[in-house]
Structure 1
Amino acid sequence: MHATIHGERTLTDLDFARLSKLPEHQLPPALAELLDCAEVTSSRAVPGNVVTMNSRLETVDLLTRRRQTLTVCYPADAEPAVGLISVLSPVGNSLLGLKVGDTARWLAPNGEACAAEIAAILFQPEATGDYAT
């Protein structure tokens, strides 16, 4: 079960620093790859259409067209039943750093390939002036 990284991804310097401090044995391979390859920018300069930590977004499943509201969060805050998705999960790390219009791709626990388009960012901490979340 893992996420696949496609295309360019952007992380804020704060997100990069916090995720880089996680113990290496906790990092899924796709998140470790993202940390190695992502463009890192200042929290004040990140565009408002980029998924950052604690962003709430709307996705559209490419197969079923089902819309879902998700928040990418740290593991301690995860509650999948209410849409709080850990960045360490395949879905969470496939969304982080993408922008509106991009497609996130990951493998479900049963090995099924999944994909969802980021339809909208409903809340991004940095866009509201919160540079410390």
Structure 2
Amino acid sequence: MKSPNIVISKLDLQRLDKILDPLKYPLDLLEALENEIDRARIVGHKRIQPNVVTMNSKVHVLDETTSREFVVTLVYPQDAGAADTVSILAPVGTALLGLKTGQCIEWRTPQCRPLKLKVLEVLYQPEANMDYDL
């Protein structure tokens, strides 16, 4: 399956650039995030649509391989670990960044298990609520 088009805000891009430090995080996770950033369309944070998953967005997701639904908040690595949070450096976090409601992403886990996630709804997006200081 072809990867869907994604959108990232300039503000998120600036913040993500600060965590791309190979001395702090595993190189393979950083490379996956860089690949997503490279294929993204970058827009101003005031122009991003409210149905796009951005950093600190709370997202209702469907795992189409298991029919399991869940809600997660996409966070920076230092904010991960709390219930219902997923780090941007986790494979699922990297996959969700920039997706729109209704879009799906497919990939294989390191154990070769296929995953297919669909964004059902963006429940909260900082940009849509003018929360630019998160």
Would you say the 8 A contact 2:20–2:30 is kept in 1? no
Percent identity of the aligned residues?
35
Would you say the 8 A contact 1:90–1:106 is kept in 2? no
Aligned equivalents of 1:106, 1:85: Cα separation in 2: 17
Superposition TM-score, scaled by structure 1 size: 0.88
Provide closer, same or farther for how the CA distance between residues 93 and 66 of structure 1 changes in structure 2, counting only shifts above 3 A: same
Which residue, 1, 7, 12 being the options, matches 1:10? 7
Give unmatched runs, 5+ long, in structure 2.
none
Would you say the 8 A contact 1:12–1:40 is kept in 2? yes
The residue that corresponds to 2:86 in the other structure is 85
Give unmatched runs, 5+ long, in structure 1.
none
Which residue, 70, 73, 77 being the options, matches 2:72? 70
Aligned equivalents of 1:97, 1:50: Cα separation in 2: 6
- Paired residue type of 1:14: L
> C-alpha displacement at 1:22, in angstroms?
2.0
Would you say the 8 A contact 1:90–1:107 is kept in 2? no
> C-alpha displacement at 1:21, in angstroms?
2.1
Would you say the 8 A contact 1:91–1:106 is kept in 2? no
1:19-76: CA deviations, max 9, x gaps?
1222342353221111222111111110000000000010111122111001110001
Number of residues of Structure 1 aligned to a counterpart in Structure 2? 129
- Paired residue type of 2:69: R
- Secondary structure, counterpart of 1:50 in structure 2: coil
Q: Give me the CA root mean square deviation.
A: 1.8
Aligned equivalents of 1:105, 1:132: Cα separation in 2: 32
